[in-house]
Amino acid sequence: MANNLGKGLEALIKSYSSDNKNKYLNEGIDISSIIPNKNQPRNVFDARGMDSLVASIKAKGILQPISVRKIEQSKFELIAGERRLRAAIQAGLKTIPAYIIKINNDMEMMEYALIENIQRINLNPIEEAEGYAVLSGKYNLTHSLIAESVSKSRTEISNKLRLLKLPPLIKQSLKNSEIEYGHARALLGIKQSTIMLTIFKKILKNKLNVRQTEQLIRNFRAIDKKTLKFTNLFNHNIHEVEMQNYLDTKTTIKQKENGSGKIIIQFSSNTNLNQIIKKIKK
């Protein structure tokens, strides 16, 4: 297995086939004889994507076989292809084409499932991180070896694993695609969970993109927290980001404790100044 890490399911299947340890069944195997893969990293299946796959299967059949391992006579455990298996069941199929592959242990099962999902239909970042956590925590794989297994960088693996430190509300939002991976990575730069959650809610309320979120957090971290209350600082950051995006130039809000203050808008030339004034007049 080690020699094939990072090459994907096709390379793994090919290597097993050369040793006659693997067999492709053109006629398919009985769907009722297949049990789920307990190491399946995916636990959320997009409903619209599934409907599309079911329709495709009804029209053209299964184009890509699933992978299974034999666990007893006429009984198989799914290795990879749960989405296709579920869609085949919904489409009313009784059999499904499959590769039967010799798998030595649960760690290899987990690697197969991760590779299959990452290469074919992306896992959401939390599911991906949870899969890496199992390989790291349960099977003692290093970040470097996990990276090699799924053809990603070691840094990417480490960054994904950090997502599991996020508060449950933010992790669920990432699972539901309400925020993106970039939002989550930016939020990890905030150490206090209460502040992180406040920023997260502002992201949703103001529909901030990743670039705006990163700028907001940079601004927040750059301001001396001793000069103003957090709520004022945070509102200033929100307004600064909005003004910078609209005026396309650096904008700074400075406020004194008595409430008075000033807005500083920077410009690089007379032309730039005229552009800014036109936008303000609008």
**Domain definitions of the chain by residue range:** 2-123, 166-281
* Segment of 46-50, 92-96, 194-198, 246-250 carrying the highest mean pLDDT: 92-96
Q: How confident is the model at residue 179 (pLDDT cuts 50, 70, 90)?
A: very high
pLDDT reported for residue 20: 43
Residue 4 has pLDDT above 50, yes or no: no
Q: What percent of the chain has pLDDT over 90?
A: 20
Dist CA 28 CA 93 (whole Å): 10
The secondary structure of residue 268, as a DSSP letter, is S
In angstroms and rounded to an integer, the radius of gyration of the C-alpha atoms of the chain is 26
Catalytic residues: 82
Calculate the alpha carbon distances from 15 to 28, 68, 113, 148, 220 in Å.
21, 16, 17, 17, 53
In this predicted structure, the answer to whether residue 111 has a pLDDT above a threshold of 80 is no
Choice among 5-19, 84-98, 161-175 with the minimum mean pLDDT: 5-19
Was domain 2-123 assigned CATH 3.90.1530.30?
A: yes
| Contact between 93 and 59 (Cβ < 8 Å) | no
Q: How far is CA 71 from CA 20, 41, 78, 127, in A?
A: 18, 20, 10, 26
- The answer to whether the beta carbons of residues 102 and 70 sit under 8 Å apart is no
Residue whose C-alpha is closest to residue 44's, from 172, 227, 170, 193 = 172
Lowest mean pLDDT among 4-8, 83-87, 88-92: 4-8
pLDDT of residue 183: 96
* SS3 labels along 38-104: CCCCCCCCCHHHHHHHHHHHHHHCCCCCEEEEEEECCEEEEEECHHHHHHHHHCCCCEEEEEECCCC
The tokens for 13 are: 């299947």
Please check the confidence at residue 151 and state whether its pLDDT lies above 80: no
Reported confidence tier of residue 185, pLDDT bands at 50, 70, 90? very high
